[in-house]
Amino acid sequence: MVARATGMKGDSRVGIGMTSARTRERLVQRLREQGISNPLVLEQIRNVPRHLFVDEALATRAYEDTALPIGYGQTISQPYVVARMTEALLENATPGKVLEIGTGCGYQTAVLAPLVRFIYSVERINALLDRARARFKELRISNVHLRHGDGFQGWPMYAPYDAILMAAAPLTVPRALIDQLAPGGRLVAPVGPEGRQQLVRITKRGDELHTENLGAVSFVPLVQGLS
C-alpha cells in the first residue's frame, strides 16, 4: 500500500458519510455492548476522527471495529482493543505521565491524550512518526511528545511514568520498562508470540509486580532496532 505523505488540509474525506454522527454512534454502541463502560473512553471513541488516521482508500471502513493496514507492515489497532487498553490504564486512577510504545498512526495516542496530562510516545518507524506528528498538529493535540526510538529501551529521560501502554507485543515485558514505571504505576501490554498473545496489566507495588490477565489479543510484534 502506498503511504500518504501529505497532511489533511482540505481533505475531501471530511464531511462525507463515514464521518457522520450515526456511524460513530454505532461503533460506540457496539463497544458498550462488548463491555466498555468508562464514559470518558466512549466519548473519546466518539470524538476522535479515526478516518483521518487511515489511508484514504480505507476511510469508509474507519468506524468498523477492525484493525486496518497503515503501511510499513503495521496496523491501526481495532477500536475495541484501544478502548479496552485505555480503560484498563485509567481504572481507579488518572495517570499524569504516560509512556506509549508504538505510536503507529497515532490513533491510540489521540484517544488517550485528553484523558492524561502528558504522553511520551516512542515509535521505531520514522515515516509513521512524521505522519502521526502532522495529525496531532492538525487535531491540536499538544500534550504528546514523540520520539524516534526503540521501545525496548523505553524513554529514560522522562521516567518514572505513572502508566505505560504498549501497542506492540514483546515475548516478555522488557526490564527497562518495568524500571521506568513509578511506584504504584501500571503497564498494559500484549505479551507473547503471534497467535498466543495475552493482554496483561502489571502493577508495581513496592518491589512486587502484580499481574492481571485481561484476555487474548492479536498485535504486531515488538521488534528491535530503528527503521
Q: How far is the CB of 205 from ligand SAH (least distance, A)?
A: 27
Quick one: which of 76, 83, 181, 189 contacts ligand SAH (CB under 6 A)?
76
What gap in Å lies between CA 136 and CA 81, rounded to an integer? 21
Quick one: which of 55, 152, 160, 218 contacts ligand SAH (CB under 6 A)?
152
What gap in Å lies between CA 110 and CA 184, rounded to an integer? 25
Which residues are CB-neighbours of 136 under 8 A, at least 6 positions away?
106, 109, 110, 113, 142, 144, 146
What gap in Å lies between CA 88 and CA 74, rounded to an integer? 23
Q: Which span (16-24, 98-106, 179-187, 208-216) binds ligand SAH, by CB under 6 A?
A: 98-106
Nearer to ligand SAH, 46 or 205 (CB): 46
Is 77 one of the catalytic residues?
yes
Judged by CB under 6 A, does residue 167 bind ligand SAH? yes
What gap in Å lies between CA 27 and CA 32, rounded to an integer? 9
Q: Cell numbers 466519548 label which residue?
A: 43
12, 20, 37, 77: the catalytic one is 77
| Residues lying near ligand SAH in the complex (CB under 6 A) | 74-77, 82, 101-102, 104-105, 107-108, 122-125, 128, 150-152, 167-168, 220, 222-224
